[in-house]
Amino acid sequence: MSYNKSEVAFKEAYEVIPGGVDSPVRAFSSVGGTPVFIERGEGGYLVDIDGNKYIDFVQSWGPLILGHCDADVESAVIEAVKKGLSFGAPTLTETDLATEIVDMFDSIEKVRFVSSGTEAVMSAIRLARGYTKRDDFIKFTGCYHGHADSLLVQAGSGMATFGSPSSPGVPADLTKHTLLATYNDIESVKKCFEQSEGGISSVIIEPIAGNMGLVPADEEFLEELRALCDEHGALLIFDEVMSGFRASLKGYQGVGSVKPDIVTLGKVIGAGMPVGAFGTRKEIMAELSPEGPIYQAGTLSGNPVAMAAGLASLKKLKSNPEIYATLERRAKRLMEGFKEAADAVGVPMVTDVRGSMFGFFFSDKPVKNFDDALENDSELFGKFHGKMLEKGVYLACSSYETGFISTVTTDEMIEEAILAAKTSLQELTA
């Protein structure tokens, strides 16, 4: 494959955009090489500006569950565009999409739309703080919830559970109320509750973590988390920006039984357009402006074109819920094939699947938390990523991301990717 045009494009982009990209992970920093610049999507494929075609397992980091240029989503967007791009006033489509989400998520009675997952999480944290009148909240190392200041934290010093900024530009004052616990470790959560002087407003977790690789939480751990929140009067926030409509039609709640208080959503509900959302029961949402005192706003929140895209996408998924069984079967077949490829050359690999989400680590031990994930052979992952790209398979460009199957990822594409994995690993271990 030739990447000449992408190499030139990357240099040009670098002159006017930091790192040449508008979101850091896209720069291929952790896998090496030049990020390919995309010309267009075609169903389950991406085509780059050099004309190379790839089976797309990234799908814009989750949103494109129906694949690229889905006819129904496209016509809904075009119809909406012809009426205008934005009004800054209520539209019926917002109510329609909100109704779909309320119908699908038992724990959501009312929902507010925003323009990104970051905004959804930032607003949910504020809502929980305002509702409980407490400032501290708990997050888990390895979970990513967007780039709002109080969520950019890393483990503090020593035994302290209080986070310190993980990025320059984030004042310590803005992370001193963020406590860090270990995923799947309930004792670490209890410690946070004990160390919080003012009390915990919320515990936020990805119930199916997709930002340290795919690492689902143990059901028993989530049950204990629910009980702890109830005991202390803290709100449990499930960040389903990624897992919502990806693990099942109801996200985690379609495959697990623990009920959160607040849910954050994004990605699939915009079908590729900028949409985030957060929702919970009415008595909590009543605290949100303009009903209540907790402020939250957005010029393009509930944008009618984005709403039309999301509504068409959700309606299509809702009309065909059995598609999730097919998505999961294909994800399992892909991971089975990757595991066969690794076993054939004596390379350790662990894999996992939840609905249309899949993940694999070059590691010989089960991954239950971020420290486990960090033990994977990310150098081998980088080389594998490059080989697969050459063979026309577009995987997430980091060991700490999740892969996705779309409704237009066919069995043939799955087998093609498995063959590419086999030859790539043979070449890498020869």
Q: Which residues bind ligand KE4 (CB under 6 A)?
A: 23, 25, 61, 116-118, 121, 144-146, 206, 210-211, 239, 241-242, 266, 276, 401
Nearer Cβ to ligand KE4 (182/196): 182
Integer Cα distance of 331 and 318 in angstroms: 20
Integer Cα distance of 44 and 209 in angstroms: 24
Integer Cα distance of 142 and 367 in angstroms: 12
Nearer Cβ to ligand KE4 (269/420): 269
Nearer Cβ to ligand KE4 (48/239): 239
Q: CB of 429: closest distance to ligand KE4 in angstroms? A: 29
Residues assigned a catalytic role: 144, 239, 267
Residue 376 near residue 363, CB atoms below 8 Å: yes
How many Cβ atoms sit within 10 Å of the Cβ of residue 152? 20
> Which residue lies nearest ligand KE4, judged by its C-beta?
117
Q: CB of 403: closest distance to ligand KE4 in angstroms? A: 11
Integer Cα distance of 161 and 185 in angstroms: 13
Residue 245 near residue 320, CB atoms below 8 Å: no
Q: CB of 415: closest distance to ligand KE4 in angstroms? A: 27
Concatenating the DSSP letter of every residue in 290-340 gives TTSSB----TTTT-HHHHHHHHHHHHHHHT-TTHHHHHHHHHHHHHHHHHH
Nearer Cβ to ligand KE4 (148/323): 148
Nearer Cβ to ligand KE4 (118/351): 118
Q: Return the bridge partners of 113, or none.
A: 277
Residue 205 DSSP SS3: strand
Helix (H) / strand (E) containing 402:
none
Q: CB of 145: closest distance to ligand KE4 in angstroms? A: 5
Q: CB of 133: closest distance to ligand KE4 in angstroms? A: 25
